[in-house]
Structure 1
């Protein structure tokens, strides 16, 4: 929140009745809490953090963002907590982190740091009171948190694990998703708190705010445009199904297509096959994205912005010569015609008064502090401009800014608007005198409202007198503009409409009454709107755009302040995709909770799930593979070799899943900062791991070549590991590349050149991290273990070279080209001579003793000492 709005800072409201009930249950038994969006998962986490802010406790908090951590710490500071949580980041040296942990309290730390500290015993595992996990639905995707919990439970059997999430829809994908999450969390209790829970519903119904739903009717042009877009969208979906019969038909419905998660759904199905898809399918996916954007712009922004997007789409298609098929449909023509009609023709007065912004202007006449919430910064900026300068001036300024290069377009616009204005005046003159008086009075009131000074939050405190003087000058212009439709165009023509509003302000503010415009999404601080809500304490809240999470937050805000009135206005286009999108989000969350309730009823949870004893098989380290040979002559194969295997791993590799899988197979991990390689399997084997994107980038910028030089210099067995992601597409060659000429820019060509330059380099292709971990275990069989200190001492400029790499590679290559010299005797020859000049002085007998082979020595001696003339005279070489 911007400084200066309010001097006081309000603490978080106390827990509600049903929240206290949930906290008591959670304190009694560890578990996973799944609550509805906006019902206060962050409030529960905040309360548990506050309970453990004491030096006698040591509680770790996982999966939080820096902005969230800062919010929790500030709230605890406001509430007067003495022992505030600490944040462990890269700024704290590794040697001093143990002292930070032993101070106790609550610790916010990044997952990579915690993994390394657990592996190196830098954190006192036996002293940890417990772990709190936020956004628990991501525990399977974010492998580091699951690794931390497994390390914690292996070393600490008494500490608690409590997890929270407010995304029930995330558990609706995959087979037994919630059960797999609980298995990784080591909890056996599932707490479900949907909005329709009896305790939640009964309590919030007793303290519900006054809700006013305003269903704004869409104009005929908007309805026609929406119908056209939906028709085109449906046609694209049908064509996509025809080209890809394997796609789920239910997910490709028109109802799901207008929802926000549709892009993720379609990419989920097509990403693994993206490189195999034809150009038509890829074009259809792009068209679906464009059409969804058009639907959003139709209900979100003004007519000028929507037309500008349409015109830019058509201009782009013409410029690149790649026309989408939907541009030639009849629905597309209807969409363009109606979009232009909205800009170049003045609609009827009765219809124009029903748009969302006009409704909001009437709501603004309420007395009391008003909070207006829109979806993003752009919408907030347009609302602020609409309130301050009026509809006509706002649209004209926006039109000039958008189409300023097209002078003919402005002339046409003025012509149509003037004709429409004259028709509207003639039509209004036929009305009764009483209705004219009412309209004049209403216009006068709205003009007075427009004359309120406009200030941002910072400007309210600073330079207020100076800005008020500037506002008085602009008020005169607005009074002239509002006097008549004809004079409107004459005055606007010579005015720039400089609003003096800070462009980087997070939200706008208007005085008398205090009116704040704030975006729902897109803020760098996720709790910015929550702060505004609790500090301003508005009497009225206007939802220009509906967002499920904030609607629930308003319910909790009203319930936590009994006796204080709150009226919420819902502005929504009736029968629009905007309304359908909101209803679909509600329905999907309800269905997700119903599915979770059924799964909980039939779920079989083993008694050892929490891992508080040694019976949990998930905590057992060791390979489950049957391919590893076992000596059955000793105790029937039960007695295994006591040698522990280890791998030296670079610190940066802990962002991937591979270290966790290696550790799970019973191989110890030694985390150090390596300059050469990523994994040291044996004293002679070094592995450089590359994902597909990293491989392409390293080949293009030459970094991989430098890394291969370093590995080949210091290790006898350099290895390049190329690891695939099963959910991401990749192919070395495209479908038509086999019929094209070989190019040096191709990935396959660069890999071929790399193997030619480094004959000892081995390339491993692994389809997943699980396959890589199994391959590493097989490569380490019957091999010595690496030394972390030795691997750490090897740098790009290190002088500790192996025996085979003590010499300059240039002369080595030169020697190997000579007759009689090969890879077996080359190093022996270099150990006995200083340079090539000394080699020319050696006798044949001396060469025989060095090379150990008389035939090789004779070939080398003859090559050096036979003159060119002798070779020509013998006819062995042509002139």
Structure 2
């Protein structure tokens, strides 16, 4: 059954169908999933072949939604993973339809011609903001447009800020995707604004004041964050201070900005600057968790951060400020207070302010009884939306226990796990909470209560709160401790209350349409879900919907929410201005100039050939392991006119010729493979099967071009030193060449240089190398044990042993050669030494 469409959704759908190649950038939560689902439903037929990229995360959700809308099973989209063989994929492509496929599998199938490119109806690219000139998606579109100029390309994105940051990124992405049309749909779009404002749900904003201790902690964190930010500006002059504001520091925007500005110079930064950037991340987390977690969980996390920081070479500066003292003091006071004589403690266990407000709100909803259970039409009465699983677990536990019992239970667990049983303060706390040292020592043998189980992680029915079966188990397991509060009476109504995280809501598809709630409580603010609520109520405005927006008053939580809305609005305004002056090439399918030059015949100036076209042997074929398509190098090699053959290789990553093999390592891969010994095995295999084995160490252009810090490099051989391990690798495999590349583009230039004058590799031979079947063209492989013996013989040196190996099959043949036969290989003096070694009588 097709869903009911709103006016602005109809407009978006019409533009999507009318324009062959187009990119949509919409605000978060504004019908992007609905738009893509409806578009796929139209193309679910055997006459089409539509490929969807960057959609694997929600592929099953799209399939379930289309099936619910009445699409026949044989026409539902297929999800292509590595479980399908090449032959299976070829057959599926011939059958047609829509496919959710990973970028790596698709690019390999395109290069191997496993799919008939001219028969492709079109390609859908979700999350278009992730496309860059080195991404696999750009590689796929280049291959697609080289052989198919009639198929469509539809690109989608909900991240306007990613497009607005940087220098004309939207133009770059459109050029990479071969697009000429761009449509922007912010929340303030005329069509969207007029449609959604006609039927707004009843929204009640509940501003909850922070407790005095929470206010003090928030103020202390803000002071510490501002001090750290100012110190970072002073210590690093390379930073652009225009975006380093406290407003951005409340969200992840500051981390993104710092990473963007400092990644290229990270190796030149002082230890102080690096530590300050890490401190900002920690402080932002502490500020976010203050309003999200209970007092015990927060205090435990705070102390863990302090202990971890104490193990560092240089502790963070903010820990020595008065703001840090205020923070730790207030966090402790939320749990307990120590007497002046330190001979007694008072347990306080301050609850979160939102819990009491939620309790009052649920009681108010329950007492109102605006709808009876039998009139719910299969829906639920109340839906509570939270940010993460920990918050969901807390609320489920709070709705079963009352707030004081819940906190007391969690505090018991915290004291039992704490390893300071011999301190006076800890002993006083154990006595105050009703525990003893003996109880603490044997706590591991106690049975876990239902509340403890919920704290360890979400249950299977976490997204739907507590079911009747769970409540029955709880009532049987712990009838003595079960509180008789109004909270429990609310839950006991069948399908009356659902607790769901925003991440679970995205995976559930049409969550609101499935549950049909009468009351929605936004326990944590979320911009995307608020817009989903607006669209849902605009569709079903006849059914009453009450929305309760809970937020801490004058808190970092409120400011972060407002900042997110402001950043998105400013991003769309910037994109609107860019669109007015956007420069799009007339011929988006134009072939790059360097590829045209390769396709142009080379004319000779030699008068003996009469200036005719001269046929030149150009070595431009490379065999690549399919696992390498996760990197940017294959795309750049193809862009430079190289002919790629993706296969599964047992030895090496890139085969440049019949004699040259390359094993590519990024810096992280190099460290890992040297530590576990895998690189030594790979070097041995390459040396055994290829005459010119090479190790390519490729750096990331966006990260520091350094193997390790200068201060870590010493003249001594150390087991933990990467330079020491590389030195041992070179000593053990002297024939191994090492190529150093600062970027993928530099690697392309290196490959061009080393391939000059060499033949192209044979694909079948490269695949057979290292397998049980062995080589198919008689390639020369060496017994490394025999090679080691050969190199230790008198007269054999580093410079002549390869020549001897090329002329002798084995050591037995070498031992029977005369001085005259050896002399052309190793010289007169060395030939006499070697011949004397083989013919000398050991008994004489």
TM exceeding 0.5: yes
Aligned residue in 2 for 1:557: 536
> Secondary structure in 1 aligned to 2:105?
helix
Supply the distance in 2 between the matched residues of 1:672 and 1:307 (Cα, whole angstroms): 53
Aligned residue in 1 for 2:500: 518
Supply the distance in 2 between the matched residues of 1:794 and 1:78 (Cα, whole angstroms): 50
> Secondary structure in 2 aligned to 1:122?
coil
**Structure 1 residue 275 displacement after superposition:** 3.0
**Structure 1 residue 156 displacement after superposition:** 0.9
> Secondary structure in 2 aligned to 1:592?
helix
- Cα shift readout 1:641-698 (whole Å, capped 9, x = no counterpart): 4656311111111111211111122221112211111111122211111111111112
Work out the number of aligned pairs and report it.
780
Supply the distance in 2 between the matched residues of 1:23 and 1:677 (Cα, whole angstroms): 48
Instruction: Find out whether 1:826 has 2:804 as its counterpart.
Output: yes
Aligned residue in 2 for 1:716: 691
Aligned residue in 1 for 2:437: none
Instruction: Classify 1:388/1:815 alpha carbon distance in 2 versus 1 (closer, same or farther; 3 Å).
Output: closer
Supply the distance in 1 between the matched residues of 2:610 and 2:161 (Cα, whole angstroms): 50
Give the conservation status (yes or no) of the 8 Å contact 1:150–1:619: no
Query: Which segment drifts farther, 849-858 or 157-166?
Result: 849-858
Aligned residue in 2 for 1:444: none
| Equivalent residues in 2 for 1:605-616, closer than 5 Å | 605-609=584-588, 611=589, 616=590
390, 398, 408: which one pairs with 2:410? 398
Supply the distance in 2 between the matched residues of 1:677 and 1:343 (Cα, whole angstroms): 59
**Structure 1 residue 309 displacement after superposition:** 2.7
Instruction: Classify 1:211/1:160 alpha carbon distance in 2 versus 1 (closer, same or farther; 3 Å).
Output: same
565, 571, 575: which one pairs with 2:550? 571
Instruction: Classify 1:142/1:193 alpha carbon distance in 2 versus 1 (closer, same or farther; 3 Å).
Output: farther
| Equivalent residues in 2 for 1:239-638, closer than 5 Å | 239-318=231-310, 322-344=314-336, 355-365=353-363, 366=365, 367=369, 369-404=381-416, 405=418, 460=467, 462=469, 473-474=479-480, 478-479=483-484, 511=493, 514-521=496-503, 523=504, 526-528=506-508, 530-609=509-588, 611=589, 616-618=590-592, 621=595
Supply the distance in 1 between the matched residues of 2:470 and 2:714 (Cα, whole angstroms): 70
Give the conservation status (yes or no) of the 8 Å contact 2:786–2:811: no
Supply the distance in 2 between the matched residues of 1:632 and 1:702 (Cα, whole angstroms): 54
**Structure 1 residue 824 displacement after superposition:** 6.8
| Equivalent residues in 2 for 1:14-93, closer than 5 Å | 14-29=4-19, 30-66=21-57, 68-82=58-72, 83-93=75-85
Aligned residue in 2 for 1:494: none
| Equivalent residues in 2 for 1:101-112, closer than 5 Å | 101-112=93-104
Supply the distance in 1 between the matched residues of 2:285 and 2:145 (Cα, whole angstroms): 47
Give the conservation status (yes or no) of the 8 Å contact 1:31–1:191: yes
Supply the distance in 2 between the matched residues of 1:647 and 1:227 (Cα, whole angstroms): 60
Instruction: Classify 1:835/1:797 alpha carbon distance in 2 versus 1 (closer, same or farther; 3 Å).
Output: farther
> Secondary structure in 2 aligned to 1:403?
helix
Query: Which segment drifts farther, 635-644 or 753-762?
Result: 635-644
Gap regions ≥5 residues in structure 1:
1-10, 419-454, 484-498, 500-507, 871-879
Give the conservation status (yes or no) of the 8 Å contact 2:396–2:465: no
Query: Which segment drifts farther, 56-65 or 190-199?
Result: 56-65
815, 833, 840: which one pairs with 1:859? 833
Instruction: Classify 1:817/1:74 alpha carbon distance in 2 versus 1 (closer, same or farther; 3 Å).
Output: same
Supply the distance in 2 between the matched residues of 1:849 and 1:736 (Cα, whole angstroms): 50
Aligned residue in 2 for 1:7: none
TM-score, length of structure 1 as denominator length: 0.81
**Structure 1 residue 87 displacement after superposition:** 1.8
**Structure 1 residue 738 displacement after superposition:** 4.7
- Cα shift readout 1:298-317 (whole Å, capped 9, x = no counterpart): 11122222233333344445
Instruction: Classify 1:23/1:705 alpha carbon distance in 2 versus 1 (closer, same or farther; 3 Å).
Output: same
**Structure 1 residue 589 displacement after superposition:** 0.2
Instruction: Classify 1:466/1:253 alpha carbon distance in 2 versus 1 (closer, same or farther; 3 Å).
Output: closer
- Tell me the C-alpha RMSD between the 2 structures: 3.6
Instruction: Classify 1:468/1:385 alpha carbon distance in 2 versus 1 (closer, same or farther; 3 Å).
Output: closer
Instruction: Classify 1:553/1:582 alpha carbon distance in 2 versus 1 (closer, same or farther; 3 Å).
Output: same
> Secondary structure in 1 aligned to 2:334?
helix
Give the conservation status (yes or no) of the 8 Å contact 1:510–1:516: no
| Equivalent residues in 2 for 1:624-663, closer than 5 Å | 641=615, 645-663=620-638
Supply the distance in 1 between the matched residues of 2:82 and 2:34 (Cα, whole angstroms): 28
| Equivalent residues in 2 for 1:70-149, closer than 5 Å | 70-82=60-72, 83-140=75-132, 143-149=135-141
Give the conservation status (yes or no) of the 8 Å contact 1:276–1:735: no
Please identify the structure whose Cα radius of gyration is greater: 1
Supply the distance in 1 between the matched residues of 2:833 and 2:432 (Cα, whole angstroms): 97
Give the conservation status (yes or no) of the 8 Å contact 1:217–1:354: no
> Secondary structure in 1 aligned to 2:205?
strand
**Structure 1 residue 271 displacement after superposition:** 2.8
Supply the distance in 2 between the matched residues of 1:780 and 1:370 (Cα, whole angstroms): 68
> Secondary structure in 2 aligned to 1:621?
helix
| Equivalent residues in 2 for 1:657-806, closer than 5 Å | 657-738=632-713, 741-795=716-770, 800=775, 805-806=781-782
Aligned residue in 2 for 1:426: none
Supply the distance in 2 between the matched residues of 1:413 and 1:212 (Cα, whole angstroms): 41
Instruction: Classify 1:867/1:72 alpha carbon distance in 2 versus 1 (closer, same or farther; 3 Å).
Output: closer
**Structure 1 residue 282 displacement after superposition:** 2.3
Supply the distance in 1 between the matched residues of 2:820 and 2:33 (Cα, whole angstroms): 82
> Secondary structure in 2 aligned to 1:617?
coil
Give the conservation status (yes or no) of the 8 Å contact 1:713–1:805: yes
**Structure 1 residue 215 displacement after superposition:** 0.9
Supply the distance in 1 between the matched residues of 2:710 and 2:811 (Cα, whole angstroms): 54
**Structure 1 residue 386 displacement after superposition:** 2.0
Query: Which segment drifts farther, 772-781 or 38-47?
Result: 772-781
Query: Which segment drifts farther, 826-835 or 177-186?
Result: 826-835
- Cα shift readout 1:202-243 (whole Å, capped 9, x = no counterpart): 100001111111111112222111111100110011111111
Instruction: Find out whether 1:213 has 2:205 as its counterpart.
Output: yes
**Structure 1 residue 88 displacement after superposition:** 2.0
- Cα shift readout 1:351-378 (whole Å, capped 9, x = no counterpart): 9999211111111121350111111111
Give the conservation status (yes or no) of the 8 Å contact 1:216–1:354: no
> Secondary structure in 1 aligned to 2:335?
helix
**Structure 1 residue 510 displacement after superposition:** 5.0
Instruction: Classify 1:857/1:345 alpha carbon distance in 2 versus 1 (closer, same or farther; 3 Å).
Output: closer
Aligned residue in 1 for 2:192: 200
Supply the distance in 2 between the matched residues of 1:470 and 1:44 (Cα, whole angstroms): 48
TM-score, length of structure 2 as denominator length: 0.85
Supply the distance in 1 between the matched residues of 2:538 and 2:80 (Cα, whole angstroms): 36
Supply the distance in 2 between the matched residues of 1:625 and 1:578 (Cα, whole angstroms): 59
Supply the distance in 2 between the matched residues of 1:650 and 1:96 (Cα, whole angstroms): 20
**Structure 1 residue 20 displacement after superposition:** 0.8
Supply the distance in 2 between the matched residues of 1:673 and 1:820 (Cα, whole angstroms): 37
Query: Which segment drifts farther, 759-768 or 52-61?
Result: 759-768
> Secondary structure in 2 aligned to 1:518?
strand
- Cα shift readout 1:762-793 (whole Å, capped 9, x = no counterpart): 21111111221232223333432211112122
**Structure 1 residue 401 displacement after superposition:** 1.6
Supply the distance in 2 between the matched residues of 1:371 and 1:680 (Cα, whole angstroms): 58
